[in-house]
Amino acid sequence: MVVEVKPEVRPKLGMVGNVAGATTEEIQHLAREQLGRDSLLGPYTHVHVFWLAGMSCDGCTISVLGAVAPRVEDLLMGSLPGLPQILLHHSAVNVESGDPFVEPMQRALEGTLGAPYVIVYEGSVPDETRAGDGYWSAVGEEFDERTGQFKQVPSSVWLKRLAPGAAAVIAIGTCATWGGIPAAYHNATGAMSVMDFLGRDYRSALGLPVVNIPGCAPVGDNFTETVAAVLLFLQGLGPVPEFDELGRPAWLFGETVHRQCTRAGYYEEGVFAEHYGDRECLVEIGCWGPVVNCNITARGALNGLGGCMNVGGPCIGCTMPGFPDKFSPFYKAPPGSTISGTISRLNGSFIRPLRRITQRDRNRETRWDRQRAIPSGWGAEYDVPIIERTVEFFYNRLRWRGSSAKPE
């Protein structure tokens, strides 16, 4: 129900139920004062972060809450050396609501905020012209002189207004970076990424294009680490972080899932999982890891633990611009795996037996070879076929070739 009311008599409901009796900014400043610490290494003591949500499931927010390197708490308290304190404006954590919640954004537009600000956008940006008289996602209300009513302000409008003056615009999660699931085939919202929405020529107040941190949901540490790197640049204490041609942190997304996967060795030897739960390479049950830029197998999902392939889940390409359309249907072997898998099997049929011979030899002490016996109470027997002895003889000749220190 829309209530017609004059702007001057607009009820201020933002602090109703706010038992803290203070704004989020005031609470954070008070906490900072209690710590008794301040960043003396740069020009800024604090930076505002406006966290806007579009077509989102809030999974990115949940992921960031679990970050540990650095922790969200350290960023909010300004306890990291050289980094300014972050004053976070997020609908899930702010004690204000209604007009007081959007008031800092109004100050940012007016240039009276008193500190730099960064925009973090979660979720894809919908085409609000398709919403008719309604809206897809909005933050706050404004009085519409044309209708004489208060009208919701789409989050995309806030993004368009605030982006030119922002120190940086960070798109978090695949929906914000590439459009994601809301932008899939046949979607009704016309959803798109932040980069598509703002355009190729967009630059922040510091000259940065949109920074993209993909993932569905992204690794929380990838986000907090990138934010810390951007803040160090803002403080003049670090260079512009290295980003790739799509605005991803290059040091985090420069490698593929496969290169860092704990199962990659099985692929090299041509051994593939046939069922979920098998420990071998997952390519033939739908894993796209060899072509997907992501560090989750190396970094883990939370506190270094978990990660899709680490726990048996095939990679479905959720960090990539082509997700989900170009990776569908999920859990079906990629067509290219027929060729690469066949080559891998042929290579593995030759390499694998040779490695096993060398492995068995290295599992024996030289004393055991001389004595032709293994003193293990666990059942190991000394049984070396003549073919393995022959292979190891020539292998060791090659190993010591050109070395002056040779065993007797």
Tell me the pLDDT tens digit for each residue of 392-404.
889 888 988 888 8
Percentage of the chain modeled with pLDDT above 90: 70
What is the average pLDDT score of the chain? 89
Question: Mean pLDDT over residues 268-287, rounded?
Answer: 94
User: What is the rounded CA–CA span in Å between residue 14 and residue 97?
Assistant: 4
Tell me the pLDDT tens digit for each residue of 295-351.
999 999 988 899 999 999 999 999 999 999 999 999 999 998 889 999 999 999 999
Q: Could you tell me which residue, 405 or 70, shows the higher pLDDT? A: 70
pTM: 0.86
Residue 113 tokens, joined = 């905020």
First to last CA, the chain: 93
Q: Residue 32: what pLDDT? A: 67
Tell me the pLDDT tens digit for each residue of 201-243.
999 999 999 999 999 999 999 999 999 999 999 898 989 899 9
pLDDT band at 1 (very low <50, low <70, confident <90, very high): very low
- Report DSSP letters for 303-349, one per residue: TTB--TGGGTPPP--TTSTTTTGGGPSTTS--TTHHHHHHHHHHHHH
Name, in order, each residue with C-beta under 8 angstroms of 99's C-beta and a sequence gap of 6 or more: 10, 12, 13, 14, 140
Percentage of the chain modeled with pLDDT above 70: 92
Among 3-12, 122-131, 276-285, 357-366, the range scoring the smallest mean pLDDT is 3-12
Name, in order, each residue with C-beta under 8 angstroms of 149's C-beta and a sequence gap of 6 or more: 2, 3, 4, 143
Q: Residue 96: what pLDDT? A: 83
Tell me the pLDDT tens digit for each residue of 123-170.
999 999 998 888 999 999 988 888 888 889 999 999 999 999 999 999
pLDDT at residue 2 greater than cutoff 90: no
Whether the upstream peptide bond of residue 329 has omega within 30° of 0, thus cis, is: yes
Q: Which domains does the chain have, with CATH numbers?
A: 20-249 (3.40.50.700), 255-363 (4.10.480.10), 369-401 (no CATH)
